Copies of this chain bind each other. A is one copy, B any other.
Amino acid sequence: MARKTGSHSNITGPRIREVALSLFAQQGFAAVSMRKIASEVGVQAGALYLYTPDKQTLLFDLMQSHMDELLAAFDIVEIAGSARARLEQFARFHIGFHMERPDAVFVAYMELRNLEPANFTKIEELRRQYESLLENIVKAGQVEGIFDVPDSKLATMALIAMLTGVNTWYREGGRMSRAEVEDVYAQMALKAVGA
């Protein structure tokens, strides 16, 4: 029962974030106490405050990291080319990225309402940036005359919702492989805008 005193800062920090993300996704930010997180990590509640100033900041850091990763990852794989090719690539990227980290995606969306106003504003700005990447593709397709969408903003929101929705049902090791799911969603996305 008793736990040895010792130095684990390089392990405990990441573990706290990992455990917190998982618990926030499963039970919700407000339903998870600092004691629950600490217990799962294997430390006492007081020790958490060596790694985060408070619970709110812990949530905000998790959400900000997720959004930063998302933007950085797309930045690396983004391609030039026709709007059609770019949309297909965005759909495949989005699906793949979201399938790989369901907890982070869930928390980043569901816990927005638990952010303090200043933190909310920052996360919303990152989200807006990401959405505008897709909207630019949709607009390019309109300009090229190959997409049939009456409103680029609405089409963007519809596409993102459709693609993100994969996380409500996809489970690793299920009936379909990740690649199959990516294929089907990418085709539906292209058809939805009339490409």
Binding site for B on A (CB under 8 A): 26-31, 110, 113-114, 148-151, 154-155, 157-162, 164-166, 168-169, 176, 181, 184-185, 187-189, 191-194
Contacts and interface: CB of A to CB of B under 8 A. Distances in A.
B154 A158 contact: no
Nearest to A187: B150
B192 A162 contact: yes
A151 B31 contact: no
A26 B155 contact: no
Nearest 3 CB-CB pairings of A with B? A161-B165, A30-B31, A30-B30
Number of copies: 2
B28 A114 contact: yes
A127 to B, nearest CB: 10
A69 B165 CA distance: 23
A33 to B, nearest CB: 10
A113 B28 contact: yes
A185 B185 CA distance: 17
Given A30-B31, A114-B28, A161 B157 contact: no
13 contacts: A27-B113, A28-B28, A151-B176, A151-B184, A154-B181, A155-B184, A157-B166, A158-B184, A160-B165, A161-B164, A162-B162, A191-B193, A191-B194
